[in-house]
Structure 1
Amino acid sequence: MELNRIVIGIFLICQMTSVAAKENNGRNRSSNNRLRLPTQVQPINYKIKLQPYVGINNTVDGHVEIEIRALRAISRIRLHMTKIFIKPRGIKLISTDNSESIAIRGTKKEPRRDFITIRLRDRLVASSTYTLIIDFTSKLNYEPKGFYTSTYWEQDDRQRYVAATQFWPALARNSFPCFDEPALKATFDVFLARQEHMTALSNMPLLESTPIPQQPGWYWDQFATTVPMSTYLVAFLITEFLNRTLEGNEGSRVTAWTRGEILDQTQHSLDVCERGINYFEEYFGIELSIPKIDMVGLPLTAHNAMENWGLITFSESSFVYSTSESTAASKQESAELVTHEVAHQWFGNLVSITWWTDLWLSEGFSTYMSNVAIDKMFPSWQVLDQFVVTRLQTVMAVDSLLNSHPVSTTVQDPAKIHEVFDEIPYSKGASIIRMMSHILSESTLREGLSNYLDRFKFKNAAQDDLWETLTVTALKSGSLPHGMTVKEIMDTWTLQPGYPVITIERPDNYTATIKQTRFYLSMLENNGNNGISEEDLRWYIPITFTDQNYPYFVHTKPRTWLRPQDDQLTVTGLPSRDKWAIFNLQQTGYFRVNYDSANWELLIEQLLRDHTVFPESNRAQIIDDSLNLARAGILSYTVALNVTKYLYREEAYTPWLAALNNLRYIDVMLRSTPQYGAFQDYLRWLVEPIISRVGLEENKEDPLVQQLLRMLLDEWACKLEHPACLAMADDLLKRFSNKSTLTLDGNVGGAYCVAVQRGGREAWLAVWKLFRQTPNTVRRDALGQALGCTTYAWLINMQLQSDLQGMDLVDALRWIRQTELGRYIAWFYVWNNRRTLIRRPQIFPTIIQTVAKDFYNDHHRFMLSAILEQVDPETGRLLSGVTATVASNQKWHLRSYSVIQLWLAETGFSIQIDLH
């Protein structure tokens, strides 16, 4: 073990110069960035000893020894520390070469920057090593930041305690003094003190437990030395949880830890984790770099999961899966979450980002690779088809707004990383990686990623390091056009916000011209002065296409390129103009496609004649592109709604999901207008055949993707008052009145909404009781949605006054506003409590975004402006997108309402009322 430490230390030292050079020369470090540590000291190893008094007084006695190397002759050492109290005479510095103490002149704390500077009497010798020793005390937090504590209850009704860590992105400094930046990797020797009835866990396996002298019932647990890792991946856990391993797999490296009551619900996650490890080891040709993975379901977390190396933490509800109570969606979501965190053991842990600017290198790759792995483990789930809608199309909606940001976004202050910690690095990052896989070929990308991981293992990398490795691999395999590099192509997708729409014009037979421009969901977005020249926003766009004569959708490698410097591109090899052509095969490219009117009509005719000619992903693409182009004012709603007519015969989940995601906006915009009834009639006509075929009764024996389709149809059948839903709601009402035992059928929650609407006070109180009792977040959300369906204003107000805090209030407002009555009550609650809510900046922006996102008239804009005038500039900046959305909605009504009204009438869906 000691030899390993020395070898790893030498290895780290050899990498210091290159890391420092990257930091100083790269775009990630600015010469005047006073929030970053100076590159003068390199940590090599930490020896951390912590004794947390969990459930006693929640204080922590701490001791850390940091082996460092001076990169220069310096007289001060700066590192991170916050909410830590150094004991009197608690700092020592010892030369590793001769064991002599280095005199300390004093210390200086800079709380605003989380720095402590240790001033020395003499300069350190460049390239020499030293040991910095600090004795300190701290307290366990009560919120999930740093080293924190929470409580839970077991079946014996005894309250129990757990202490856990959440160090991402820069919170290790709350637990022990450290160099808390991702590039400053080191090894860690962890010692945790615990009481004998508790268990301690850390990143590595337990080496030994020894009694603590003069403290009966206490033990020191020593863990094996870690591999080189960033501080944000260090993890501790002290708990009374129980554990289990994978049944029937003696050699499993995976253990699950939860409270005993739900331990039997971890089998699914254990299986997925073990299979995920095996898949990634084979895929990358690189073994898991640590000997075990503990997965822990915690009652209190900051995020759904955290990828700590070897000790992955999850929110309890995201981790467990019950075959009897959980939904099909939660089964898939938990699998994706577990596999995402397993993928992080390579992307993010084995190779870490140099700085938070390239967060997408960690999150985007883990998101994409988790989908690839699940597609191999559970092919019947069709997750790569779903990806087109759930990831690519979903993030496109966010990325088409003016306030979007690039995938690779400069982050100076780690405390502000949450401002860019959204769907862009996750889902856009994953989407452009998927695009890159089709550009280079899956085999080339796989080889390139293996080379990248092997080249930078136990080190840090930036975006350009990946581009360089992939270019070398692609040139070797012949996957790149002559003279092009991966960096040249992909920088246009990672360093710019937004994405393009390509316009296809077919002026004559056999050819087409293609142009690109940035797509905005509302053309209002393009009218503002955002400081960006639209002429500068151009992309390298891979062009794939097929046609009616030879409808071959498998060849997704680019046939040609529309380059940033090209005003337009002419494509040949198309059929005559009376045959359709389709571009962006399987929607592998991260862009939208708009056609001339003749080609749109040909595509619509084909959908109505035989939609199965197009694969599911392209059917979803045609739907999503047309409805978003219409919403943006680029394409007539007459064309877009004609596209949806074929859905009467559609049976696949992915196109239905794309359609209903988009039709939801029209549904909301028309909700209080005279045309809402006609639009509902059209939707009811569309979904009737698929509801008749699939039904609404839950059947867990069906393929998972069909269960997902049923969940989607249940929601809309109940929204549209379909007889099948009304019958289920009536059955629920009988059970409410008979005081029968109620459980929520996981995949069909919409009937509860209708039952609450029709059942009055008694039904609402029955669902409220269920809501208060369930710990499962998926079921809790379904029940919360049902509570919001009531038509009794006093019940809604009673719920709003039930001491709601934090996200509970946000959720309640989200549930309440789904009805017309609820929308008004939710808004007036915010209006009447605006002064109080403004003083809660952690939730206020989310609340405004929740209640105001479908406002569309002058009165709405006036009241929203009146609130926003009272907020601070930072909050105002965060909410600028809401104001733009309201203006966009208003413009939509002026432009699109009459078009939709006419289309509905011409299609045979018009409600006429004789008012005389």
Structure 2
Amino acid sequence: MPSNSSTSLKTVDDWVWTTFEKTPVMSTYLLACVISELEYLETSYLSINGRNITIRLWTEKQKFSQLDLAYRLVPTIMKTLEDYFGIPYTLPKLDMVSLPGYDLARAMENWGLIVQSESTLLQESDANDPMEKAIFAITIVHEIAHQWFGNLVTSRWWSDIWFNEGLATLFENIVLNEIAPELGVDVITVLFFQQALFHDTLNISIPLNYPVELLPTIEHKFDGFAYAKASVIFRMVKSFVGDEAFKNGLHRYFNQFQFKAANSTDFWAILTQESRRACTLSPRKHVGRIMKTWTEQSGYPLIQVDRNPNGTIQLTQTPFIDSSNPLTDNFTETVAWWVPISMTNGADPKFSLDDRIPVVWLTPKVPSVAIKGPDDTNVWILVNLQYSGYYRVNYDRLGWELLSEQLIRNHTVIPPLNRAQLIDDVFTLCHVKTLPYEVSVRLVEYLGRAEEENFVRSVAVGHVGRIKQMMALQGIHDEKLDAMVKVMMTYIVPTQNTESRNHYNSGQLDVHCHNDDKLCVDRILDLFRGYINDTVTPAQSSLTKKHFEDIWCTALRYGGPLEWSYAWNSSRDSSATLSKKRKIFKAMACTTDTSRIKQLLSRVFLPKINQEPIETSIILNSLAENPSARLLAMKFVMLNWAFLNKHFRNPPRMRDLLVAVTRRSSSLNELEKVCSLVIKHYKHVMILILVAWHKIRSTNFWKTKRTSWVLQLLISLLLQSAVTYGILSYRRYT
């Protein structure tokens, strides 16, 4: 709150007694105080209730120029949220403080005093990476949205924390698509969907809504998976109740519960009334009943779309199960959801907001229905418009073929989000052996001709990389699959043709070099050396900035001492922002040279560098993604466990780090060593270890070629259990 008065103390020199205005009724965890010598830039906006709200952005004075983007965004974000909710911001001011040394990408939404890392409030003036700007902007929106979700109305207990986090995450996309569509935040939507679907595996993941009591258990609620799944669940709710009902529901929710505590059940009740009023939900349906199937059980459905001989379309839900996961092979439990089905077809393709309203529901009692199909049985059908439903979709072979033909004929008929969804679904279904890889080859064929959205292409790149990774880890030598991968790569990665190389000096060089493309690598090295020597043209300089990570990665993988020395010194530049250092570390982690990998790992020990924990985390996670460095990174973590524990002072990060460096290991010997390490450091969790061990041994895959996978899972389960059940006491580390 703003200060009321300040009075010098008569009894103590240079001390001042300051009183502040009284706060509204609020949760104690939202109270914060910052004592610093930072300075601020001030702006304001006119609230919908006519008040002028003061906004102050705090940082070191020499960094004021990096506040430009935040200075422009924050008032607009505040006004956009007020307009959407119809509820004004409650306090007379908002301070946003950038703290030097605060963890990268971390922020805390204290009411009226948001505290965050420099990378989430400061942006370099010449930054032109759209993804970096998008991530920067969504963090600001997220913390400001919490001034309503969580602050104005607080959860009754931590079990419902996913509710506030999910809504704050949802509004990242809603707000930025309105005020800054050029940032292309739809790519973030795709990433959230992929993250949630990838991790939400039956019999392993946990539901969103589960009871918590102990502090470490509560802390576990704040993981990336919960944020991602909750946000896409709310995206689905918004789609099936409609924009009007969703907006009116939020307005009523804030009006009814402001300065009070509420939970998801309260919101579902309000939303049910508003959706019935808007005629988007029938009187027999209740949002709370629907959402119970999504929040109180893990996993998600697979929707099978088949054409019946009589021309109808058969829609069937079954739990999505990864058959390559040993713990789900014998899965027999009956699980079902209330699934809103939105769909369109090639005869009359429609993808508007209104078209996302479900045409039919699949329910636990009626998991399969037949509906009227298009008159022309040879037109494509597409289910789950604009990625609005939290489920995967599989089509019969004709269905996939017709969709593939449409993409080749004119891919823009299907919106980018649905193109990304189709690619993600088809590859995932191939990975779990529901479909043969020939189907995915056919679907991505259009990428070789046209795809202007890089995020859509990146979905395919990630999946092909997973295929190659699985083949390498499992020692698979499948000539047919290898040939298909090569064909897919010709579609997915733009060719290094003569024309593109001739545009090198105009800044159009393709920076994605194939391993065997020496000419491309040489040109990247020439460009990087020119950048070092400051002899590049303006177009080349712009290209280097635009594709910083790709160019630096290639240069440091194939370059020599000159390139490495330049990168090493750049990482030590005290004036470099954490955002820039992150890019440099990720690029340095591309090296295949053992001595350089060891030098990068040992950087944390150098007293003159004083490496921050977040920098260590970036380096280790990046090296874990490099096949040439994975084993060295894993050994480094194991050998220096005690040091890293003191260095990080953060048990969840240690857990995540160990999982990161072991998840792609195929060496049974190394995984057994890691398992021993886990048991040694988490000996108090022995009962959980025995339960997990018995569970894994009871599968039919024990002592098979999947043993390494089983050990990886065991490590993950043990580490998760150690945090979730309160075995790690935060008092030991703070």
Give TM-score scaled by structure 1 length. 0.67
Give 1:230's aligned amino acid.
S
The aligned residue for residue 846 of structure 1 is 656
Give 2:440's aligned amino acid.
A
| Partner secondary structure for residue 502 of structure 1 | strand
Structure 1 window deviating more from structure 2 (256-265 vs 684-693): it is 684-693
Q: Contact 2:203–2:328 (CA<8 Å) still a contact in 1? A: no
Q: 1:473 to 1:216 in 2, by over 3 A?
A: same
Please state which structure has a larger fraction of its residues in helix: 2
The aligned residue for residue 239 of structure 1 is 36
Structure 1 window deviating more from structure 2 (331-340 vs 670-679): it is 670-679
Deviation at 1:659, TM superposition (A): 1.9
Structure 1 window deviating more from structure 2 (797-806 vs 224-233): it is 797-806
In 1, Cα distance between equivalents of 2:84 and 2:362:
32
* Residue 545 of structure 1 pairs with residue 343 of structure 2: yes
Q: Contact 1:737–1:762 (CA<8 Å) still a contact in 2? A: no
Q: 1:465 to 1:247 in 2, by over 3 A?
A: closer
The aligned residue for residue 721 of structure 2 is none
In 2, Cα distance between equivalents of 1:889 and 1:473:
54
In 2, Cα distance between equivalents of 1:888 and 1:606:
46
In 2, Cα distance between equivalents of 1:334 and 1:647:
29
Give 1:538's aligned amino acid.
A
Q: Of the candidates 466, 484, 493, which is equivalent to residue 687 of structure 1? A: 493
Deviation at 1:777, TM superposition (A): 2.4
Deviation at 1:402, TM superposition (A): 3.9
In 1, Cα distance between equivalents of 2:413 and 2:501:
22
Deviations 1:17-51 (A, max 9, x none): xxxxxxxxxxxxxxxxxxxxxxxxxxxxxxxxxxx
In 1, Cα distance between equivalents of 2:438 and 2:416:
23
The aligned residue for residue 142 of structure 1 is none
Deviations 1:178-224 (A, max 9, x none): xxxxxxxxxxxxxxxxxxxxxxxxxx111111112221111122111
> Alignment length, in residue pairs?
674
* Residue 218 of structure 1 pairs with residue 35 of structure 2: no
* Residue 621 of structure 1 pairs with residue 421 of structure 2: yes
The aligned residue for residue 872 of structure 1 is 682
* Residue 322 of structure 1 pairs with residue 130 of structure 2: no
Deviations 1:311-355 (A, max 9, x none): 111101221112214633222222111111111111111111000
| Partner secondary structure for residue 778 of structure 1 | helix
Q: Of the candidates 722, 727, 734, which is equivalent to residue 523 of structure 2? A: 727
Q: Of the candidates 156, 163, 166, which is equivalent to residue 361 of structure 1? A: 163
Deviation at 1:389, TM superposition (A): 0.8
Q: Of the candidates 210, 215, 229, which is equivalent to residue 414 of structure 1? A: 215
Deviations 1:673-729 (A, max 9, x none): 6777984674255322699789998999xxxxxxxxx99x85x44778585564233
The aligned residue for residue 715 of structure 2 is none
The aligned residue for residue 76 of structure 1 is none
Deviations 1:839-886 (A, max 9, x none): 9855442232222222346556555545445452677869979x99x9
Q: Contact 2:134–2:184 (CA<8 Å) still a contact in 1? A: no
* Residue 230 of structure 1 pairs with residue 27 of structure 2: yes
Q: Of the candidates 56, 66, 69, which is equivalent to residue 265 of structure 1? A: 66
Deviation at 1:831, TM superposition (A): 4.9
In 1, Cα distance between equivalents of 2:496 and 2:342:
32
The aligned residue for residue 304 of structure 1 is 106
In 2, Cα distance between equivalents of 1:455 and 1:697:
61
| Partner secondary structure for residue 732 of structure 1 | helix
The aligned residue for residue 294 of structure 2 is 493
The aligned residue for residue 722 of structure 2 is none
Deviation at 1:279, TM superposition (A): 1.0
In 1, Cα distance between equivalents of 2:412 and 2:502:
22
Deviation at 1:621, TM superposition (A): 0.9
The aligned residue for residue 791 of structure 1 is 592
In 1, Cα distance between equivalents of 2:403 and 2:704:
29
| Partner secondary structure for residue 548 of structure 2 | coil
Q: 1:559 to 1:312 in 2, by over 3 A?
A: same
In 1, Cα distance between equivalents of 2:197 and 2:261:
30
The aligned residue for residue 766 of structure 1 is 566
* Residue 441 of structure 1 pairs with residue 220 of structure 2: no
Q: Contact 1:317–1:775 (CA<8 Å) still a contact in 2? A: no
In 1, Cα distance between equivalents of 2:78 and 2:180:
15
The aligned residue for residue 643 of structure 1 is 443
Q: Contact 1:326–1:779 (CA<8 Å) still a contact in 2? A: no
Structure 1 window deviating more from structure 2 (509-518 vs 282-291): it is 509-518
* Residue 281 of structure 1 pairs with residue 59 of structure 2: no
The aligned residue for residue 224 of structure 2 is 423
Percent identity between matched residues is: 28
In 2, Cα distance between equivalents of 1:790 and 1:622:
34
The aligned residue for residue 754 of structure 1 is 554
In 2, Cα distance between equivalents of 1:685 and 1:762:
35
Q: Of the candidates 544, 553, 559, which is equivalent to residue 359 of structure 2? A: 559
* Residue 209 of structure 1 pairs with residue 10 of structure 2: no
Q: Contact 2:192–2:229 (CA<8 Å) still a contact in 1? A: yes
Counterparts in 2 of 1:648-663, with a 5 A limit? 648=448, 649-663=450-464
In 1, Cα distance between equivalents of 2:122 and 2:94:
17
Give 1:339's aligned amino acid.
V
| Partner secondary structure for residue 235 of structure 2 | helix
The aligned residue for residue 814 of structure 1 is 621
Deviation at 1:838, TM superposition (A): 8.2
* Residue 855 of structure 1 pairs with residue 665 of structure 2: yes
Root-mean-square deviation over aligned CA pairs: 3.7
The aligned residue for residue 633 of structure 1 is 433
* Residue 450 of structure 1 pairs with residue 251 of structure 2: yes
Structure 1 window deviating more from structure 2 (729-738 vs 294-303): it is 729-738
Counterparts in 2 of 1:324-363, with a 5 A limit? 324-325=126-127, 327-363=129-165
Q: Of the candidates 171, 193, 198, which is equivalent to residue 392 of structure 1? A: 193
Q: 1:842 to 1:480 in 2, by over 3 A?
A: closer
The aligned residue for residue 720 of structure 2 is none
Q: 1:355 to 1:568 in 2, by over 3 A?
A: same
Deviation at 1:736, TM superposition (A): 4.5
| Partner secondary structure for residue 604 of structure 2 | coil
In 1, Cα distance between equivalents of 2:212 and 2:6:
42
Q: 1:551 to 1:856 in 2, by over 3 A?
A: farther
Q: Contact 2:158–2:218 (CA<8 Å) still a contact in 1? A: yes
In 1, Cα distance between equivalents of 2:57 and 2:163:
28
Q: 1:390 to 1:435 in 2, by over 3 A?
A: same
Q: Contact 1:508–1:577 (CA<8 Å) still a contact in 2? A: no
| Partner secondary structure for residue 285 of structure 2 | coil
Deviations 1:49-73 (A, max 9, x none): xxxxxxxxxxxxxxxxxxxxxxxxx
In 2, Cα distance between equivalents of 1:893 and 1:557:
45
| Partner secondary structure for residue 236 of structure 1 | coil
Counterparts in 2 of 1:448-487, with a 5 A limit? 448-487=249-288
In 1, Cα distance between equivalents of 2:269 and 2:490:
53
Q: 1:628 to 1:389 in 2, by over 3 A?
A: same
Please state which structure has a larger fraction of its residues in strand: 1
Q: Contact 2:150–2:164 (CA<8 Å) still a contact in 1? A: yes
The aligned residue for residue 508 of structure 1 is 309
Q: 1:456 to 1:514 in 2, by over 3 A?
A: same
Q: Contact 1:854–1:889 (CA<8 Å) still a contact in 2? A: no
Q: Contact 1:650–1:690 (CA<8 Å) still a contact in 2? A: no
In 2, Cα distance between equivalents of 1:873 and 1:893:
22
Q: 1:641 to 1:798 in 2, by over 3 A?
A: same
In 1, Cα distance between equivalents of 2:424 and 2:703:
19
In 2, Cα distance between equivalents of 1:401 and 1:718:
37
| Partner secondary structure for residue 370 of structure 2 | strand
Q: Which runs of 5+ in 2 are unaligned?
A: 606-610, 710-734
Q: 1:637 to 1:350 in 2, by over 3 A?
A: same
Deviations 1:210-263 (A, max 9, x none): 112221111122111111110011011111111112399995621111011212
